[in-house]
Amino acid sequence: MLQSLKPVKQFKQHICSFALYGHDLTRQIETHHYCGRLNQDFLQCAVYNTDDSSAHLSGEQKLWHSHAHEIKSGLLASPRVPEMLQKELDDLSKTYDLVKKRDDKYRISSEELKESRLSVEGPESINTNADYWMKHRTGFAIDVVETVMKLRAPFP
């Protein structure tokens, strides 16, 4: 292989959860996070809209969040990984039809995850850019507009 893909190879964990769709609280989507550990307290994830070969990347910094709510509520799960191994996730830190579909697909129970995580404490500190939607009770709408492509970009 000519290219090493070293950054991508550091992603060793698949986490499935749910997110609100932009600014519309009535729309939730299933999200798939492929994560690598940067240090003891921080995972870096590439977030995709599905876990199959047609997946597309999702998200931007304004959408970062700590996952504390998802961990405690049982929404965050590592498909095909026994709960015994998922406890590492707990230390780091609705739509019922969607949750049920995800639970059925991966043969997990969000309720059992929630019960097993009742004693999990949230992180001591959270990046100030994270959890924007919880702090401000607003979201972001991203409009896609056609634009002229620049042929040359300034060199940094």
**Domains of the chain, residue spans:** 7-136
For residue 39, what pLDDT is reported?
Answer: 78
In tens, the pLDDT along 75-112 reads: 777 776 665 445 544 443 334 567 778 888 888 888 88
Maximal C-alpha separation, the chain: 55
Cα within 13 Å of Cα(55), Cβ side: 15
- pLDDT above 70 (res 136): yes
pTM of the model: 0.53
